[in-house]
Structure 1
Amino acid sequence: MKNNYILGGSVSCFDLYNLERQFKEIHEAPIDFMHYDVVDGRFNQCLILGLPTLQMMRPHTELPIEVHLAVYEPELYIAQFIEAGADIITIHPEGTKDLMEAFRYIRKLGAKPALALRSETIATEDMLPAMEEAEYIIKLTVNPGFSGQKIQPAAFEKMSALRRMLDTHGIDTKIVADGNVNTDTIPTLVQHGASMLIGGTSGLFLKGRSVKECAQAMLDAMKQ
């Protein structure tokens, strides 16, 4: 059975200097999982998060941790991140030569596979087997790794096309919106096929408001 997650919190947007306080806020909020971005400096021009932070976090939360490997050759890193505590490993078709083999490897090591598509990537039918098996499909609406970006408008239609393709083939895998997800953009993202959200600096971690308040506002925007 696939997950019933709705809202994930982006670890790259946490206050990493005050993780104990940040975790307390996360655990008080209606957040279903933690989204942990790893970018290798080649998949996008930045380096973000790694094994030591995950190893430090894992003993302090029972929430599922999804590691998003925005990297080339994710097979080189899958075992390390599962050993460090990842429950879900998300990989990109743009970064691996064999999605299904990578998915099998993830399951063999005791984690669940998920799929991610860059904002400019158009879903194709050769990805359908992985899409059907994935816990969910993250559709990036910005480039991976950099906080504070605005949604790339072309991502909306690509998300709609992805949802239509899944529905046409009877695949009920959920689509996750990731990038500039907030109360203003959520209704449009939902309209274009998103049924899960990842919250970051523009929606979940706002100055002057608690994470719990922001998370509830995001969920309310989904219902509208």
Structure 2
Amino acid sequence: MSQDKLELIRRAAPGVLPSLLMCDFGDLKSELDRLQQAGTQCLHLDVMDGQFVPNLTYGMPIVEGIRKHSDLPMDVHLMIKDPLAYAKPMIDAGADSLTFHVEAVEDAAQAAREIKSLGACVGVALNPSTPLEALDGCLAEVDMVLVMSVDAGFGGQAFNPIALERLQTLKQSHPDLLLEIDGGINRDTIGQARAAGCDLFVVGSAIFKHQDYSAAIADLNAQMSGGQS
């Protein structure tokens, strides 16, 4: 089952994944409809627990609510202290992919195996300050690496170009891994990230601060594909 879900995520690449943290939760079904009409092929959900990161967002009920109104694959980023405790409930609620932070677990390879055994595809994320070598023991076990270009859980940060170096290194050493980036992705940075080898681009304000989601996503796709100014 995890391979089927991985194939769904791969079909979205290269592509923009709207970060639903910024959508209008008071009109969630309409937001999902607008995103799908704009050509969205995969959704990104940021789950924060107020412990691993200082902010608190949403949990399984929101994931389940989204699944009731959308067949799009859901890529769930677990910015939480104990990702394994919530892995099965998240998958049962409708998550297709779970990404945990290497900083949150003692054994990332074992965590990846446990999540995959539950039937989801699995990703591992790391913050800009975490050495890339922290991933060495688990890369053979994961389907995707989420390279953070800002520190997880904090808003308003500038894009950290170390992410581009990490994408290049990972693409060269593990060309079959899906590479994802999150933090400060907009029309000025998405082309750089694509050139560095990224496949999936998590985008928040560069979509949701625009009235026309279709135009915003089309512009991001154009910048990703050709780097036009």
What range describes the TM-score normalised by the shorter chain of this pair?
0.7 to 0.9
Cα 1:223–1:167, aligned 2, differ >3 Å: closer, same or farther?
same
1:173 equivalent to 2:182? Answer no
Query: 204, 207, 211: which is aligned to 1:204?
Result: 207
* Mapping 1:4-83, distance limit 5 Å: 4-5=11-12, 6-83=15-92
Any conservation in 1 of the 2:16–2:203 contact (CA below 8 Å)? yes
- List 4+ stretches of structure 1 deviating above 4 A: none
Cα 1:213–1:165, aligned 2, differ >3 Å: closer, same or farther?
closer
Any conservation in 2 of the 1:39–1:47 contact (CA below 8 Å)? yes
Spell out, residue by residue over 1:24-48, the C-alpha distance to the aligned partner (whole angstroms, 9 max, x if none): 1011122221111111112211111
What residue number does 2:152 align with? 144
TM (norm. structure 1) is: 0.88
* Mapping 1:105-144, distance limit 5 Å: 105-124=114-133, 127-128=135-136, 130-144=138-152
The 3-state SS of whatever aligns with 1:62 is coil
The 3-state SS of whatever aligns with 1:204 is helix
Spell out, residue by residue over 1:151-193, the C-alpha distance to the aligned partner (whole angstroms, 9 max, x if none): 1344443x24xx324513x442132121111111112222333
The number of residues matched between the two structures is 217
- Of Structure 1 and Structure 2, the greater helix share is in 2
The 3-state SS of whatever aligns with 2:222 is helix
Q: Specify every segment of 5 or more residues in structure 2 that has no aligned partner in the other structure, as ranges.
A: none
Q: C-alpha root-mean-square deviation of aligned residues, in Å? A: 2.0
Q: Quick one: distance in 2 between partners of 1:184 and 1:77?
A: 35
The 3-state SS of whatever aligns with 1:130 is coil
The 3-state SS of whatever aligns with 1:47 is coil
How far did 1:122 drift? 2.2
Any conservation in 2 of the 1:7–1:30 contact (CA below 8 Å)? no
TM (norm. structure 2) is: 0.86
What residue number does 2:111 align with? 102
Q: Specify every segment of 5 or more residues in structure 1 that has no aligned partner in the other structure, as ranges.
A: none
How far did 1:78 drift? 0.6
How far did 1:88 drift? 0.6
How far did 1:51 drift? 1.6
How far did 1:15 drift? 1.0
Q: Quick one: distance in 2 between partners of 1:113 and 1:155?
A: 20
How far did 1:147 drift? 4.2
How far did 1:108 drift? 1.8
